[in-house]
Amino acid sequence: MVHVVFYEKPGCRNNTRQKALLEAAGHTVEAHSLLTHPWTAESLRPFFADKPVADWFNKAAPRVKSGEVDPTAATADSALAMMLAEPLLIRRPLIEVAGERRCGFDPEAIDAWIGLGEPEHVGDVETCPNLAKGNPCKHGRE
């Protein structure tokens, strides 16, 4: 099993579930606040690897949901600048294992990468359950 550095929004129900899944699979989780970490463009960019820029964004962030921020119109540089100014825009979690970095929590991809165990039974652990029902997030600003 591996040591997982996990950047989350404290209080996020899905991030809590994701950490529990990692721990249940035998991994150790070192959690940090995505919102208060001292990010730079150089430290943040590697988490997104070759994903399209639009996939770097937290689709539930208030400014994305309102249409004020259009992830499909962002360049890599403009996306990083926006995210450094407002970390809520960053898709979460950000995960680092042995120097490899990734964003988001796709159970099948996590299982293939570090092992998760029966990812097909996990369900959706990225969409806030309240937001999925059309309600505001009850755990603070998304």
Whether 12 is a known active-site residue: answer yes
Q: What are phi and psi of 84, to 5 degrees?
A: -65, -35
Please check whether residue 56 is in contact with residue 91, taking contact to mean a CB–CB distance below 8 angstroms. Answer: yes
Please check whether residue 49 is in contact with residue 102, taking contact to mean a CB–CB distance below 8 angstroms. Answer: yes
* Contacts of 107 by beta carbon, 8 Å cutoff, 6+ apart: 21, 116, 119, 120, 122, 125
Dihedral, 117, 130, 30, 52 alpha carbons, nearest 10: 80
In whole angstroms, give the CA distance from residue 53 to residue 116.
27
Residue 126, amino acid: E
Which one of 12, 103, 128, 137 is the catalytic residue?
A: 12
Residue 117, amino acid: G
Active-site positions read 12
